[in-house]
Amino acid sequence: MAVHTTTSLDGKVLEITLDRPKANAIDAATSRELSNTFVAFMDDPVQRVAILTGGGEKFFSAGWDLGSAADGESFESDYGAGGFGGFPELKHRPKPIIVAVNGMAVGGGFEIAMSADFIVAADHAQFFLPETRVGVLPDAGSIRLPRLLPRQLANEVIFGGRRLSAEEAKSWGIVNKVAPSAELMDTARALAAEICVSAPLSIAAVLDIMRVTEDLNIADSYVAMRKNDTYIKAINSEDALEGPNAFAEKRDPVWKGK
């Protein structure tokens, strides 16, 4: 079976490259491959942050492989436990994901990026959703983009095929950082290193709290947070004692994740 992803481990950071020339389009088999990688990452006790990028400099990902669609692959295909792209539908994921957009993020490629916790983009990157022009629709994009952009601007992207440059996406808060192409991965790695300074149980709790309170008002959010298992685990952990002790002793904390 063809392999279209490569991985490398840099300390606690897992780097994943989608490498499927010419446009890093994703069929069901490639999505399952990505999903298996992300599931293993979430279960690994050492790995803290994942960075997903694309091979080459032209495309991060062109999204759904329309060639496979023409051959009979459908929206109901098995894309793996994490859904299309490997992680967007993983439930209760305790670790952050950075997407390093090295080129055009088209259709499902843009949707995958929107599902990440951080986006770092090359300065020539573009983001757009062309699905309605080929007779389908941006399912995840129709849900996620109106939550990230003003509705009228989101409509231009979803209905009209408007492209967002890396800088414009950054100005609207979709992209965290923009870097020259040659500095893209170093920028993503620096961000990952910043995340790894924090306690892993704290990060997991914050991710879970944001998830469970996303549609709640403030009062109900406090109630949900106090009852949240990951919150309770974090505030009662050894690491919750290690942090203040390390601060008092003027040393770096040593996180155990327990």
Q: Let me know whether 105 and 93 are in one domain.
A: yes
Active-site hit among 131, 168, 183, 238:
131
* Nearest-angstrom CA–CA distance, 10 and 56: 20
Asked if residue 256 belongs to a domain, the reply is no
DSSP string, 62-78: --B-HHHHHTT--TTS-
DSSP string, 123-157: TT-EEE--GGGGT---HHHHHHHHHHS-HHHHHHH
- Give 195's contacts (C-beta < 8 A, 6+ positions apart): 48, 49, 96, 203
Q: Let me know whether 182 and 116 are in one domain.
A: yes
Buried-state track 92-101, b at ≥16 Cβ within 10 A, e below 16: ebbbbbbbbb
Give the predicted TM-score (pTM) of the model.
Answer: 0.92
Active-site hit among 57, 73, 76, 111:
111
Within 10 angstroms of residue 156's Cβ, the number of other Cβ atoms is 14
Count of domains observed in the chain: 2
* Nearest-angstrom CA–CA distance, 134 and 197: 45
Residue 76 falls in the annotated catalytic set: no
Asked if residue 253 belongs to a domain, the reply is no
The residue type of 31 is: S
Asked if residue 255 belongs to a domain, the reply is no
| pLDDT digit string (tens) for the chain, length 258 residues | 566 889 999 899 999 999 998 899 998 899 999 999 999 999 999 999 999 999 988 999 998 886 766 666 666 678 899 999 999 999 889 999 999 999 999 999 999 999 999 999 999 999 999 888 877 888 888 999 999 999 999 999 999 889 999 999 999 999 999 999 999 999 999 999 999 999 999 999 999 999 999 999 999 999 999 999 999 999 999 999 999 999 999 999 999 888
Q: Let me know whether 228 and 151 are in one domain.
A: no
Q: Let me know whether 185 and 135 are in one domain.
A: yes
Q: Count each helix (H run) and each strand (E run) in the chain, helices first.
A: 11, 10
Pairing of strands 118-122, 97-101: parallel
Asked if residue 155 belongs to a domain, the reply is yes
Domain that holds residue 239: 200-248
Q: Let me know whether 13 and 36 are in one domain.
A: yes
* Nearest-angstrom CA–CA distance, 187 and 198: 18
What's the helix, strand, coil split of the chain in %, to 5? 45, 15, 40
Asked whether the beta carbons of 53 and 184 are under 8 A apart, the reply is yes
Residue 111 falls in the annotated catalytic set: yes
Asked whether the beta carbons of 177 and 51 are under 8 A apart, the reply is no
